[in-house]
Amino acid sequence: MIEATCLERGHEIALVVDKANQNDLNSENLSRVDAAIDFSTPDSAFDNIMKCIEANTPIVSGTTGWLNRKSEIENACKANNASFFYASNFSIGVNLLFAINQKLARLMDGFDNYQCEIEETHHIHKLDAPSGTAISLADDIVKNIRRLDKWKLAENTEINRNDLQITAIREGEVTGKHTITYESNVDTISLSHEAKNRKGFALGAVMAAEFSRDKKGIYTMQDMLAI
């Protein structure tokens, strides 16, 4: 989908790397490209991104499940005067949801009678849970609602009132659905986004590569969309 979107927008594909040809991701090949896009796996993303940074090739990554090492990537990016663009979700609609989620959380901070939860549903092939998008939503909620201490994945784990519960569902070929719910004794408030297909993710990633081409530094969708 990313390749098709690149071609539709007039770009050329200089290199495609998968598990069968990992050695092709090297400085010589990377020197011939304007930007790289990484949608790989949690186990391989860090090394893929680091190779691009060391080659000074702008790298756009949407891989989730490896973010415990994100600070290492950011430090390497700064040290190499490179370009790193990361998003847990490249959908423009989801990034608008991020902004609305932050605003609503700030408003809900003063209303202790509402309990917040997040539910996310994805296809059975997704390797990480909760999704990176759900984590981004949860982090913004915890940051803005003082009565919440942390988020927890609902997996035989005791959920306290000061915890934000995330429920992760894996079924069928669901592209991605995220719902934030505030529940009280008298009403329910919810925000929801459901992707109809993967085209929106691919388009956002290609736009990020176009945005990053001549830039140095660390960027997000908020930078690109000026949210």
Q: Record the tokens describing residue 33, joined without a space.
A: 């490209």
CB atoms within 10 A of CB 143: 12
Residues 117, 50 within the same domain: no
pLDDT of residue 225: 92
Catalytic residue among 11, 70, 126, 177: 126
d(CA 200, CA 94): 10
Residues 126, 153 within the same domain: yes
Strand partners, 219: 85
Residues 151, 187 within the same domain: yes
8 A C-beta contact, residue 167 and residue 119:
yes
Q: Both ends of the chain: CA-CA distance in Å? A: 26
Q: Max alpha carbon distance in the chain (Å)?
A: 62
Which CATH number belongs to the domain containing residue 101 in this structure? 3.30.360.10
d(CA 100, CA 90): 16
Position 15 pLDDT exceeds 80 = yes
Lowest mean pLDDT segment, chosen from 6-20, 105-119, 144-158, 164-178 = 144-158
Residue type, 12: E
| Catalytic annotation present for 122 | yes
Which CATH number belongs to the domain containing residue 14 in this structure? 3.40.50.720
pLDDT of residue 161: 84
pLDDT of residue 212: 96
* Tally of domains in the chain: 2
Residues 50, 99 within the same domain: no
d(CA 177, CA 196): 9
Q: What is the mean pLDDT of residues 176-205?
A: 95
Residues 186, 209 within the same domain: no
Residues 211, 140 within the same domain: no
Residues 57, 126 within the same domain: no
Instruction: Give the domain range for residue 53.
Output: 2-90+199-225
Q: What is the mean pLDDT of residues 7-15?
A: 96
Position 128 pLDDT exceeds 90 = no
> 37-64 pLDDT, tens per residue?
999 999 999 999 999 999 999 999 999 8
Q: What is the mean pLDDT of residues 64-88?
A: 95
Share of the chain above pLDDT 70, in %: 100
Q: What is the mean pLDDT of residues 77-105?
A: 95
8 A C-beta contact, residue 87 and residue 208:
yes
Position 31 pLDDT exceeds 70 = yes
Residues 116, 174 within the same domain: yes
Catalytic residue among 51, 122, 178, 193: 122
| Catalytic annotation present for 125 | no
pTM of the full structure: 0.77
Residues 64, 80 within the same domain: yes
Position 156 pLDDT exceeds 70 = no
Residues 113, 179 within the same domain: yes
Q: What is the mean pLDDT of residues 170-195?
A: 96
Residues 190, 128 within the same domain: yes
pLDDT of residue 144: 98
Provide CB contacts within 8 A for 168, sequence distance 6+: 120, 121, 122, 129, 130, 131, 134, 153, 154
Residues 103, 180 within the same domain: yes
Position 157 pLDDT exceeds 80 = no
